Structure 1
Amino acid sequence: MHQLAIVHDHPDGFQPLFAALSRAGIDYLPVHTAGHGFDPIGGQPPAPVIFNRIAMSSARHGVHHPVYYAMALLDHWAGQGALVLNGADAMAIDASKARQLALINRLGLAAPATRVVHDSAALLAAATTIGFPVVVKADVSGAGSGVTRFDDRAALAHAAEAGLLPPSANGVWLCQALVNPRDGTTTRIEVLGGRYLYGVDVAAAEDALMLASPDDRLQRLAQRRRRRAEPPPNLIAAAEMLAREAGMEVCSIEYMIDDVCGTPRFHDINGLSPFVENPMDVLGWDPHDRLVERLWHHIRRMGG
């Protein structure tokens, strides 16, 4: 049996992690969800420690996305005694913007004004209540996918009638007030093992998140994660609390400062936590090495 299994849907995106695992001498097994199947009655986990790296943005690829399949797989292996990091319960929060915002609210943190709906009539009513401009988001999304801005009711009504709303894997949308972030940036806090790892400022450009194609969004988002941030202690503590309550071993938490009132508004909990590109230039160290140290901790704890 291997020491560690990595469940993923995009092997090219995890080469830095695989390289760090190899440098550390960890015997790991990549488990690609494409073509994968499991016996829900028998079988056994491929390793005592399972690390989930499924991207929520995979849901935009259509009915064959692995999000809900991976939840069932991870829950099965956890029931067989494996330690599953970012497992099915955490993934259920990762896979729902609505659940993320409910968690943010329960913990007493601010978020953009939002209504959750599942049909176009409720969507139009929600937008009228919140007031235009609004942002409509798919409940299951990632990397800026499934996000569209509407400046008036006519544009939203046309999109709903023409089937041009953001594709939703579960038929749920969020209608959200458009927040103008101070200095045009959002801040991403990376959390590992319940503790702050680092922060980066991300240019919160509407054109990147709402007007670009999905592939362009991924490219632009990666290119923009470059400026080191030093979030204040109270917001670091809030992000750590969110990560713990979400049950996520590793994740990123995003907030923006509302330029109108100065309120920090949390808006995203991302269990995939894509680390900043060119980390040596931005941070001066590689977060994958810290992640591998944490994985070693769990492997030793499980007797591996």
Structure 2
Amino acid sequence: MSKIYVIHENSEWTVHLTKRLEELDIPYEEWFLDKGILDLSQIPPEGVFYNRMSASSHTRGHRYAPELTSAVLAWIEKHGRKVINGSRAIQLEVSKVAQYLSLNTYGIRTPKTLAAVGISEILEAAGSFEGKPFITKHNRAGKGLGVHLFYTLEGLKEYLEGPTFEDSVDGITLVQEYIQAPEPYITRCEFIGGKFVYAVQVDTSEGFELCPADACRIGDLFCPVGEEVPLKPKFQIIENFDHPILQKYEEFLKNNSIQIAGIEFIRDKDGEIYTYDVNTNTNYNSDAEAAVEKYGMLEIAKFFGEELEKL
């Protein structure tokens, strides 16, 4: 019997999906690809394969999970199976350089970025910003890991030569212009089946750990106003969000064979949009979804049911 095969390396992020698949009585099987053997002479089973491998797998002790997933996806695709977020998706998931270059192809603006390997090269790259603030980030990361803001080259040098410096797992550090937003928010647009579902506003005032999954949530923020201390959620779904950028995002996803993704952007003081991250193993925040009764994992499960019917 055909079923949904969920390829991943983190059960905490997948349990919300499998719960929805069970609710809809959709058959599924999990492929936990932290390690394993791939016999190229074998034929993959019939079904729909969903890749939700994460660029941050190495932070959970699964250093080579994306590489194994790439091999498995190539094997599955060679045999003509239906794959959701296939080989191109994993390529973009593990490389922000690849993401930015592809985004630019579709007229989507990204922050000025230099990729550097080596301490002296990172410093040299930062010098091109001529005294303006900049950030460093890992080329292969996830959850905003490795992101640091600097105002001076001296501050960067101290960090690079100090005990807290952590190199990207692929050795490539990105040095990127800092986009100053008028308010501490970024926007994340969610897509299922290649189509826009909703946008969520994310409060960044506590830093760059922006994963919306309940498992890595930092908790709610409090913003005192006079004598009142109202609860201010970190994630809020924006009702009726609409912008021409969505059409460009959908074109980008379609031409990269990506069906499920979250794409993040920030606005500068002039309202210009800069897109800086594409997450192909997107998670959703349960509190934000419950507030507006929109549920990403339920929509994914429905989408998978439709894909199974097509088989």
| TM-score between the two structures when normalised by the length of structure 2 | 0.87
Q: Give every structure 1 segment of 4 or more consecutive aligned residues whose post-TM-superposition deviation is greater than 6 Å.
A: none
Offset at residue 73 of structure 1 (A)? 1.3
In structure 1, distance between residues paired with 2:77 and 2:15:
26
Q: Is the 8 A contact 1:4 1:47 kept in 2?
A: no
In structure 2, distance between residues paired with 1:4 and 1:31:
10
CA shift digits 1:202-235 (9 cap, x unpaired) = 1123x4217x9xx999322897223435433302
In structure 2, distance between residues paired with 1:269 and 1:95:
10
Q: Secondary structure, in 3 states, of the residue corresponding to 1:226?
A: strand
Structure 1 residue 278 and structure 2 residue 287: aligned? Answer: yes
In structure 1, distance between residues paired with 2:125 and 2:215:
26
Aligned to 1:296: 305
Aligned to 1:20: 20
Q: Is the 8 A contact 1:60 1:146 kept in 2?
A: no
In structure 2, distance between residues paired with 1:113 and 1:141:
18
Aligned to 1:265: 274
In structure 1, distance between residues paired with 2:234 and 2:252:
24
In structure 1, distance between residues paired with 2:291 and 2:182:
22
Letter in 1 for 2:117: H
In structure 2, distance between residues paired with 1:5 and 1:176:
37
Q: Secondary structure, in 3 states, of the residue corresponding to 1:115?
A: strand
How large is the RMSD of aligned CA atoms in angstroms?
A: 2.5
Q: Which ranges of structure 2 fall in alignment gaps of 5 or more residues?
A: 221-232
Aligned to 1:218: 216
Task: Go from structure 1 to structure 2 and tell me whether the alpha carbon gap of 1:277 and 1:124 turns closer, same or farther (over 3 Å shift).
Answer: same
Task: Go from structure 1 to structure 2 and tell me whether the alpha carbon gap of 1:93 and 1:280 turns closer, same or farther (over 3 Å shift).
Answer: closer
Offset at residue 263 of structure 1 (A)? 0.9
In structure 1, distance between residues paired with 2:46 and 2:163:
44
Offset at residue 65 of structure 1 (A)? 4.2
Letter in 2 for 1:240: E
Letter in 1 for 2:284: F
Letter in 2 for 1:195: K
Matched-pair identity in %? 21
Letter in 2 for 1:231: F
Aligned to 2:225: none
Aligned to 2:72: 73
More helix by share: 1
Task: Go from structure 1 to structure 2 and tell me whether the alpha carbon gap of 1:2 and 1:146 turns closer, same or farther (over 3 Å shift).
Answer: farther
Q: Is the 8 A contact 1:145 1:217 kept in 2?
A: no
Q: Secondary structure, in 3 states, of the residue corresponding to 1:220?
A: coil
Q: Is the 8 A contact 1:60 1:145 kept in 2?
A: no
Number of residue pairs aligned between Structure 1 and Structure 2: 296
Aligned to 1:133: 133
Aligned to 1:101: 100
Q: Secondary structure, in 3 states, of the residue corresponding to 1:175?
A: strand
In structure 2, distance between residues paired with 1:6 and 1:188:
23
Letter in 1 for 2:10: H
